[in-house]
Structure 1
């Protein structure tokens, strides 16, 4: 599915969009996703272990547009650049600096790490035609509720909202169509935002 307002693909980090809610909110084992192989994983077990950590790779897939490599192909390249760490059975990610180097060297994109980023700064980047992978709390899919925290999950901001005062973003763990491609006022977005991210050029195409 491609977003009608921004032209960017709307993708989830799980292979079956209709199962995202069951996986992230109801405890369904991702290994039971019947479309797991579409992710590029080698087995249901690998898919189940990694899929919950690949919000960043999903954002990159969306930014690359149609023809982007599979989710796990992107993960494999990112691992070679140490953009994820997998030690003692614990996956930690996404490490921004090596991720930016990977995106630059493999995909030819000018990725910029923003360690201190304000909502106003996001709007400036969007106005420059860039897209922003922003660190937010996954609870952003329920913006009507108090924010449980900030950071830990990545979404891709693609544009301002129609009124110019908010942000349009794609959420890899959105559980419905309206939370996968969402509009929020900047003040609401800020409640979930950790103040950091990575910007990518707009109009990127998979190489």
Structure 2
């Protein structure tokens, strides 16, 4: 599936797009996703444990375009660089921006810049240089009609802006339908969910 407004493919962090809503909002166990093997996971259990943490890898996969590695192949590389870590009790932590940027630059030859302080009005300027932006937002951005529950904790890939700069185009790895997977929001609406940090990719 490709965004009609850009050449960046649209992917979800769960293998079966039609089940994203049931998984993230309906309590469906990801291990029941019949498409789990397409992710590159070694088992339904590994897929279920990790897929909810892989919004950043999904954004990378979209940014790399056609022919990008599978989601879990990207995860494996990120683990080697320390962009994800696992505690002794199995808790998964990440995405850690600095090692992620190193991973993307060294393995895929894409210049990656960490933005620890990024105002929403700085995103269009990055887009205008031909970059895409992994922006930290609250996952509630898929329901912009509701009050924002918070900021950050989830990554979306900002791919473009409207001609007048008043709205942003972005791909959401946990979008529950076509309109929230390849979405457009006014900058002011996007800002309500935005944690003012991210990574831009050349």
Kindly tell me the number of residue pairs found equivalent between the two proteins. Answer: 201
Query: 2:25 is paired with a residue of what secondary structure?
Result: helix
SS in 2 for 1:79: helix
SS where residue 26 of structure 1 aligns? coil
2:129 is aligned with 1:128? yes
Give the structure 1 partner of residue 45 of structure 2: 45
Counterpart secondary structure, 2:85: strand
SS of residue matched to 1:178? helix
Unaligned runs of 5+ in 1: 202-207
Residues 52-61 or 157-166, more deviating: 157-166
Separation (CA, whole Å) in 2 of partners of 1:99 and 1:69:
16
CA–CA separation in structure 1 for the residues paired with 2:111 and 2:163: 27
Which ranges in structure 2 are unaligned for 5 or more consecutive residues?
Answer: none
- 1:82 paired with 2:98, answer no
TM-score by length of 2: 0.98
Q: Distance in 2 between matches of 1:196 and 1:40?
A: 29
1:1-207 equivalences under 5 Å are 1-87=1-87, 88-201=89-202
Please give the TM-score of this superposition, normalised by the length of structure 1: 0.96
Deviations 1:9-61 (A, max 9, x none): 00000000000000000000000000000000000000000000000000000
How far off its partner does 1:161 sit?
2.4
Distance 2:32 2:4 in 1: 31
The Cα shift of 1:129 comes to 1.1
Distance of 2:130 and 2:12 partners within structure 1 = 23
Separation in 2 of the partners of 1:161 and 1:41?
37
